[in-house]
Amino acid sequence: MDSIISISALSKTYASGFSALKGVDLDIRRGEIFALLGPNGAGKTTLISVVCGLVNASAGTVRVDGHDIVRDYRAARALIGLVPQELTTDAFETVWNTVSFSRGLFGKPPDPAYLEQLLKDLSLWAKRDAKLMMLSGGMKRRVLIAKALSHEPRILFLDEPTAGVDVELRRDMWQLVRRLRDSGVTVILTTHYIEEAEEMADRIGVIAKGALILVEDKAALMKKLGGKQLTLQLAAPIEEIPSALARYGLALGKGGGTLVYRYEAETEDNAIADLLQDLAAAGIAFADLHTTQRSLEEIFVSLVSEREPAGEGAR
């Protein structure tokens, strides 16, 4: 496999004694869009901060296109653009100056044509002479993306790119990310939204409590994560589930007033129609029904509990 980033046995224990990463092994493929999916506090920002050289690892190694991030820091860092989770900007500078300066920091010669195209792609061109403090939150975020891309990195990290972002920026961002991928840039994004990972990623890694639980191609993972649940509020409580309904694997709620049916979103199109028919045939009436997608929280709980012993699955 042609990896552009190789992370091996990476651990991070903060000065507080908190262990934020626990032996992470991960290879990022050249040219892919990789989503690191996990709940708040899972260690996503810590992981990408280590790769970008902002946080020192406690143990393990990271190589970026063959360059060790400690011994060969400058070469590794020059390949990377980072859009941070937090908005931090130098308020009094203009958009153009901020982005050109950022390019200069990486020792790249000025390239006004490149920056012009970049600002146009991000709908920032009209704002090029505006001071950052005059911009809306969404515009500031666009500037952060422009800064991250100013030195033409081969790898782009986006840390929670759409948290608190409006629909228009989200759409522009996804278009930009796809264009970047098409031009050979590797993109790694972190998110706690399944939908975001689903929308964007070629592969998804799930992280929880500092451990990488699994890494899979999106299609395979969405199947696992995509489970839905149908809850039927019964017109009158029942004592047990009739044997005629056994094949659905229903669960009877407390007091016998609800029936819960779990199913996969895509695979069982007719199952609900069949179930409702069989219910009627069994003389069970319902007063209400609703479906829910499994929440991320539930999914993590079930993934963690299904988890193989340490070391399995993280490849």
Ligand X SMILES: Nc1ncnc2c1ncn2[C@@H]1O[C@H](COP(=O)(O)OP(=O)(O)O)[C@@H](O)[C@H]1O
Binding site for ligand X (CB under 6 A): 14, 16, 18, 20, 38, 40-46
We find the least distance from the C-beta atom of residue 105 to ligand X, in angstroms, to be 24
CA dihedral sign of residues 108, 136, 120, 84: positive
Q: Among Mg ion, ligand X, none, what binds residue 92 when CB lies within 5 to 8 Å by partner kind?
A: none
Identify which of residues 18 and 101 has a Cβ nearer to ligand X in the complex: 18
Identify which of residues 100 and 190 has a Cβ nearer to ligand X in the complex: 190
We find the least distance from the C-beta atom of residue 183 to ligand X, in angstroms, to be 28
We find the least distance from the C-beta atom of residue 199 to ligand X, in angstroms, to be 19
Q: Among Mg ion, ligand X, none, what binds residue 40 when CB lies within 5 to 8 Å by partner kind?
A: ligand X
We find the least distance from the C-beta atom of residue 11 to ligand X, in angstroms, to be 12
Identify which of residues 41 and 226 has a Cβ nearer to ligand X in the complex: 41
We find the least distance from the C-beta atom of residue 235 to ligand X, in angstroms, to be 44
- State the binding string over 66-105 for Mg ion (x if CB under 5 A, else -): -------------------x--------------------
Identify which of residues 41 and 257 has a Cβ nearer to Mg ion in the complex: 41
Identify which of residues 2 and 86 has a Cβ nearer to Mg ion in the complex: 86
- Cα dihedral 304, 305, 310, 315, rounded to 10, equals -50
Q: Among Mg ion, ligand X, none, what binds residue 73 when CB lies within 5 to 8 Å by partner kind?
A: none
Question: Which residues on adjacent β-strands are paired with residue 214?
Answer: 206
Identify which of residues 38 and 161 has a Cβ nearer to ligand X in the complex: 38
Q: Among ligand X, Mg ion, none, what binds residue 88 when CB lies within 5 to 8 Å by partner kind?
A: none
We find the least distance from the C-beta atom of residue 46 to ligand X, in angstroms, to be 3
Size of the site for Mg ion (CB under 5 A): 3
Identify which of residues 44 and 203 has a Cβ nearer to Mg ion in the complex: 44
- Pairwise CA distance, residues 113 & 79, whole Å: 20
33 alpha carbon, distance to own chain's centre: 10
We find the least distance from the C-beta atom of residue 24 to ligand X, in angstroms, to be 12
Q: Among Mg ion, ligand X, none, what binds residue 20 when CB lies within 5 to 8 Å by partner kind?
A: ligand X
DSSP assignment string, the chain: --EEEEEEEEEEE-TTS-EEEEEEEEEEETT-EEEEE--TTSSHHHHHHHHTTSS--SEEEEEETTEETTTTHHHHHHTEEEE-SS----TTSBHHHHHHHHHHHTTPPP-HHHHHHHHHHTT-GGGTTSBGGGS-HHHHHHHHHHHHHTT--SEEEEESTTTT--HHHHHHHHHHHHHHHHTT-EEEEEES-HHHHHHH-SEEEEEETTEEEEEEEHHHHHHHH-EEEEEEEESS--SS--GGGGGG--EEPGGG-EEEEEEETTT-TTHHHHHHHHHHHTT--EEEEEEEEPPHHHHHHHHHHHPPSTTTT--
Q: Among Mg ion, ligand X, none, what binds residue 42 when CB lies within 5 to 8 Å by partner kind?
A: ligand X
45 lies in the binding site for Mg ion (CB under 5 A): yes
- Residues at the interface with Mg ion (CB under 5 A): 44-45, 85
